[in-house]
Amino acid sequence: MNLIDVSIFGIHFFLLIILVALLSEFINAIFGGGHGTILTPFLLILGFPPLSIVPSILLAEAVGSILVAIAHHSVGNVNFGRNSKHLKMAILFGITSIIGILLAVIINFRLPQFYRVCRKIS
């Protein structure tokens, strides 16, 4: 199933998903979180597989975070200049986030194998 092809679902379905995504991102911008919490159950109810939902939401949040960081830098709320404290913190958070993502992916793909082993033991 090709999720990019609008004809699979119809234009109304496609517009509904865009509207809910914009609304959840708006709530995320106001409260500082909640985009994935709102959008994930909605997409699950609509029948999208979790392995499609999670990467899509993570990508949307990553792009949104980068754009917000650029906006904050441009208005002077943070300074991402060379050797600045804010840049060092962003790099540290980025590296630790990448490590966390890699560990989560490894655990996610190992869980089915772990459960099969546990069933054989018990």
Per the structure, the complete domain to which residue 42 belongs is given by: 1-78
Are 71 and 42 within one domain? yes
Contact 43, 53 (CB under 8 A): yes
- Are residues 67 and 38 part of one domain? yes
- The C-alpha atoms of residue 106 and residue 108 are separated, in whole angstroms, by 5
The model's pLDDT over 10-66, given as tens digits with 9 standing for 90+, comes to 778 888 888 888 888 888 778 877 788 888 888 888 888 888 888 888 888 888 888
Q: Given this model, what pLDDT does residue 122 score?
A: 62
Both 39 and 96 in one domain: the answer is: no
- The reported pTM is 0.64
